[in-house]
């Protein structure tokens, strides 16, 4: 048998949305409550200012307007996955159920499910409304998708690595 003399370098990423990509940077993760609705793993979480309960807690929600993404200080971070949490089969994507505590990465690198090909070093667009390109609010892409996604505030989110199509991508978060 002849020895192997070549090796594939384009090995698909073994990851899932919301997975921490590495621990090379200082990680900053805070916890918020999914007060308004369930929160999907690997999506951008926004501060929920509509929380009018008698309890004082930090509430999270998916973005619903362009200002949620472009105004500095509105973002909580990207929702970190918890593979030990049982999932409700009624949801097609893994989520934290409504009223549950949601960990949000504010600094570090995390895997997300990108709707389109992504370019290394670019600032991604984040979905705030359903459109032709996708329906998961808080998801990432490389274009505005007919005004249903907007580019994140400069320096807060950067793509790390280039992808050739829709699928998993690494986002570097610096919201702190």
Q: What's the pLDDT tens digit per position in 5-54? A: 765 555 555 788 899 988 777 678 888 888 888 899 999 999 888 766 65
Cα 159 from Cα 115, distance rounded (Å): 13
Which domains are assigned to the chain?
28-174 (2.40.300)
Tens-digit pLDDT profile for residues 130-143: 988 889 999 999 98
Cα 59 to Cα 46, 50, 100, 116: the distances in Å are 8, 9, 10, 29
* Residue 86 vs residue 131, higher pLDDT: 131
CB 63 within 8 A of CB 69: yes
Concatenating the DSSP letter of every residue in 86-118 gives ---TT-SS-EEPTTSEEEEEEEEEEEEEESS--
pLDDT for position 55 = 58
CB 109 within 8 A of CB 127: no
Mean per-residue pLDDT of the chain: 85
Cα 106 from Cα 157, distance rounded (Å): 10
Average pLDDT over residues 111-139: 92
Rounded to 5 degrees, φ, ψ at 109 are: -120, 135
Rg (CA), the chain: 17
Picking from 73-77, 92-96, 109-113, which range would have the lowest pLDDT averaged per residue?
Answer: 92-96
CB 62 within 8 A of CB 129: no
Burial class of 151 by CB neighbour count within 10 A (0 to 12, 13 to 18, 19+): middle
């Amino acid at each position: 048998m002849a020895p192997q003399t070549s090796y594939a370098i384009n090995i698909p990423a073994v990851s899932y949305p919301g997975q921490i990509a590495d621990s090379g940077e200082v990680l900053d993760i805070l916890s918020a409550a999914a007060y308004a609705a369930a929160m999907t793993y690997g999506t951008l979480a926004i501060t929920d200012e509509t929380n009018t309960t008698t309890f004082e807690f930090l509430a999270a929600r998916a973005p619903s307007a362009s200002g949620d993404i472009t105004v500095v200080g509105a973002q909580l971070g990207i929702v970190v996955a918890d593979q030990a949490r049982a999932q409700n089969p009624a949801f097609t994507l893994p989520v934290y159920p409504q009223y549950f505590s949601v960990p949000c990465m504010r600094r570090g690198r995390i895997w997300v499910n990108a709707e389109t090909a992504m370019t290394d070093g670019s600032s991604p667009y984040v979905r705030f409304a359903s459109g032709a390109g996708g329906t998961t609010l808080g998801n990432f892409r490389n274009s505005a998708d007919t005004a249903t996604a907007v580019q994140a505030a400069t320096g807060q989110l950067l793509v790390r690595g280039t992808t050739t199509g829709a699928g998993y991508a690494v986002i570097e978060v610096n919201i702190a």
